[in-house]
Amino acid sequence: MERAWRWPFAGFVVGALMGATILTVNVVGASSPVRPPAATGSFGEILHTPVLLSRTGEPVRLRYGFVCGVPRFEPAGGCSPSGSVFVRPAGRSEFTERSLRRDSEGLLAATIGAREAAGGFDYYARIDNGRGQSRELPGGAPAAPHHVWPIESWSRVDLGAARFGRTRTPDSVVASFPWGRGDHAAGLDTGREQSRIGPSAFDVAPDGSVVVLDQVNRRLALVRPGSRPAHVPIAFEGGEGDLAVAPDGTIYVLDASGTPMLRSFTAGGYPIASTRLAEQTADMVRVGPNGPLVHAYPSEMWLPTGAGAPPFAPAQQLAAAEPARRVGDSSVVVSATSDEAKLALVRGDRVAHAWAVRSAANLGEVQLAEPYGDGLLVVLRVWTEKRSEFRVLRLTRAGLAESFAVDRAEWAESASLSRFRLHGSTLYQLRSTPSGTQVATFEIGGKG
Amino acid sequence: MSRGLVTGLLAGATFVLLVVGTPAGAYHTNFQAYCNDSWMNLNPINRGEARNYAYSAAGEGYQWGGGCWNTNGYDDSPGDQPENPYTRGEGPDCSGFTFKAWYERAETGDPWFRYHYLMQNVHGPYTAADFKYGVGAPNMTVAKASTTFMDAFAATNHIGMIYWENTAYNQDRIIEAKCEACGTGTWPRTYRGNPDYSGVRRRYWG
């Protein structure tokens, strides 16, 4: 009897172990997170919007917020931050320290006098969280500080009163997807008590193909002119991200998850490399003259990640970060509020040209600012409490050369600054409706 | 011998998969088993303290109908089925997160402040749509142009609080419980200029 049951019993034990292994892989393993360093570490977070552009002859106010790492009533919560800002006027080699003082709104602030700011300056802050820990912002300072460009003269553009609804119809639709999971569809992540999220981003490849980040289905959709969409599965952990295609066809995908990653793929979608980003939040990837650049927070610096493999490690990204986005031999600087959008083309410390855009309606985000001819092509939002649309502006050194309105077509959410791309003289827009999503085009006048 | 071994193997594997696998799949990580019901009433706190509280959830998970999280910086229960409260995962949903971060009370007629421990599993009585229309004694609608940090932008299906206003590209950094794949965190958003969203404020900040 004992012998008769020995082998079945041994089999049962081994089978049970196999079953447990399968469960571990499928239930625990598949759901186990990649465990990044805690985003909510005990230090907290420094908050700051870089000034970037100032008016010559005016003082510059630098302001910093601070978020404590642990709330007051959890064990050892609360904090009392303090700090300094370090300033280096243009042409000087040394930074000088200024104490930050709490202003009426509770922010840590310092004012740089008009004379000192006249030629532009670099700056960074060092904040102590009141618990003996301090950090610099930007993280690569003093090697890679923030910078302020002084502007003597601006091309002023007044958009006047917004007359909503007179939007331009797209010239063509180059890619179109119903919502879903199939070969011709694009994913929609929706439900009660959560955002309605469609494809995050898209870009146009050198051969004119449209590449769509269908992150809900964890894939890229490659739409070649006159062909059916091809799909390439990709690794993607977060809910949203961004995408940019380099002139050599390399596709860069920003995964804006809890630990932001940048992954690169060949034009056919084959994985090349990936790297973790140096900062905890990122919203844009664009391609600069030396490879991809990621716009990251809280510094709002542009982090280079390198075009080769392996890409730059986080410390290298911080050390080489720049305050403005490099495009060719220039950089584009954007500094906007709801009252005024300031834009500039700069070369090093020198300002090539600057524009100040105003509107009777509120100005929203600057969706796109790309060199175009001798100026910029800009897409920004104008809005009131009940209405909103995008305005496309062709800015030349003489001012506003062309302007038209575009329907916001944002039934589903994409990554916040990924709705438009410029390729030659064609402006592309990622649009969505309850039935699906599409990429539409608008031809721009003038010389791109 | 071999037939007995194979039969035993199959039986063992089937037993474990059925008996252990089914509940494990249904409850996934069952993070909420470690949560509690601890809170205390407070005098009014200020917006900065509320933002510190909200920041504790950055990097944690999203759970539809949920409300508790630790502060280890990652989602302990990723990949849960959306809109399924029985997955019992880590994190709040968007409206539950706002309720806790605004120190609100479960009694909708009471506008005063209550500290909910991070691991207290509470969602509160309001949906995103309720917040959008200013439902509840502590909540009111405001013009979006007049909002400041720790006010919120609410649509019928989502709400997020202003973490830091006016980035260089003129977005707002929003702190929000976004979606199961996104988790909870801070992201730059364009809700302010989107007419689907209304401005919402908690009354009586200290």
pLDDT of residue A71: 81
pLDDT band of B39, cuts 50, 70, 90: very high
Nearest to A366 among B15, B74, B169 (CB): B169
- Nearest-CA distance from B108 to chain A in Å? 19
ipTM reported for the complex, 2 dp: 0.91
CB contact under 8 A, A19 and B21: yes
Judged by a CB distance cut-off of 8 A, whether residue A131 touches chain B is: no
| Confidence (pLDDT) at B85 | 78
The distance of Cα B147 from the centroid of its chain, to the nearest Å, equals 22
State the residue for tokens 């391609």.
A287
Predicted local distance difference test score (pLDDT) of residue A202: 98
Q: What is the pLDDT of residues B67-82, one digit of tens each?
A: 999 999 889 988 888 7
Could you give all domains of chain A from N- to C-terminal order, each with its CATH number?
45-152 (2.60.40.10), 157-443 (2.120.10.30)
CB contact under 8 A, A78 and B52: yes
Q: How far is B84 from chain A (nearest CA, A)?
A: 11
Residues of B in contact with A12 (CB under 8 A): 8-9, 11-12, 15
Q: Which of B187, B185, B161 is nearest to A36 (CA)?
A: B185
Mutate to test the interface with B, among A6, A12, A54 (most CBs of B within 10 A): A12
Q: Which chain A residues in 244-303 lie under 8 Å from chain B, judged by CB atoms?
A: 256-258, 280-281, 283, 297-298, 300
Per-residue model confidence as pLDDT tens digits over B80-138: 887 787 889 999 999 999 999 999 999 999 999 999 999 999 999 999 999 999 999 99
Q: Is A161 on the interface with B (CB under 8 A)?
A: no
Q: What is the mean pLDDT of each run of 10 residues along chain A (448 residues)?
A: 67 68 43 39 90 96 94 79 97 96 95 96 97 95 98 96 93 96 92 90 96 96 89 92 96 91 94 96 96 98 92 97 96 97 95 97 98 97 97 97 97 96 97 97 85
Mutant choice from B52, B88, B174 vs A, greatest count of A C-beta within 10 A? B52
pTM exceeds 0.80: yes
Q: Nearest by CB to B13, from A15, A300, A408: name it.
A: A15
- Residue closest to A281 by CA, chosen among B96, B164, B89: B164
pLDDT computed for residue B4 by the predictor: 67
Interface size, chain A vs chain B, as Cβ–Cβ contacts under 8 Å = 293
Nearest to B91 by CA among B31, B166, B45: B31
Residue A387: its chain B contacts at CB < 8 A?
195
What is the distance in angstroms between the Cα of B22 and the nearest Cα belonging to chain A? 10
Rounded CA gap, B203 and A238, in Å?
34
A200 Rama sector, left if φ>0, alpha if ψ -120 to 50, beta otherwise: alpha
Q: Which of B5, B166, B185 sits opposite A11 (nearest CB)?
A: B5
pLDDT of the residue at A35: 39
Q: Backbone phi, then psi, for A22, in 5-degree steps?
A: -60, -45
A11 touches chain B (CB under 8 A): yes
DSSP per residue, B119-161? TB----S--HHHHHTT-STTEEEE-GGG--TT-EEE-SS-EEE
Least confident of A185-194, B159-168, B193-202: A185-194
Question: Residue A19: which of B6, B13, B171 has the nearest Cβ?
Answer: B13
Q: At what angle do helices B2-16 and A2-23 cross, to 10 degrees?
A: 40
pLDDT digits (tens, 9 = 90+) for A380-430: 999 999 999 999 999 999 999 999 999 999 999 999 999 999 999 999 999
Q: Does the pLDDT value for residue B19 go beyond 70?
A: no
Of B14, B93, B115, the CB nearest to A193: B93
Q: Is the dihedral of CA A286, A287, A289, A290 positive or negative?
A: positive
User: B30-202 has which fold?
Assistant: endopeptidase fold (from Nostoc punctiforme) (3.90.1720)
Query: What pLDDT score was predicted for residue A445?
Result: 87
Tell if the CB–CB gap between B55 and A365 is shorter than 8 Å.
Answer: no
Q: A258 and B74: CB-CB below 8 Å? A: yes
Which of A22, A341, A382 faces B17 most closely, judged by CB atoms? A22
**A61 alpha-carbon distance from chain centroid:** 25
Q: Which chain A residues touch B143 with a CB distance below 8 Å?
A: 385
Selecting from B21, B40, B55 the residue whose C-beta is nearest the C-beta of A67 gives B55
For residue A367, the chain B residue with the least C-alpha distance is B169
Q: How far apart are CA B144 and CA A255, in angstroms?
A: 29
Nearest partner of A194 among B197, B171, B159, B131, judged by Cα:
B159
* Cα gap A135→A131, rounded to integer Å: 12
Choose the mutation target among B10, B190, B197, B205 for the interface with A, i.e. most A CBs under 10 Å.
Answer: B190
Q: Name every chain B residue with its beta carbon within 8 A of the beta carbon of A281.
A: 173, 185-188
Q: How many residues does chain A have?
A: 448
A65, A106, A240 member nearest B182 (Cβ) = A240
Rounded to whole angstroms, how far apart are CA atoms B59 and B186?
9
Looking at residue A25, its pLDDT comes to 41
A406 contacts in B (CB within 8 Å)? Answer: none
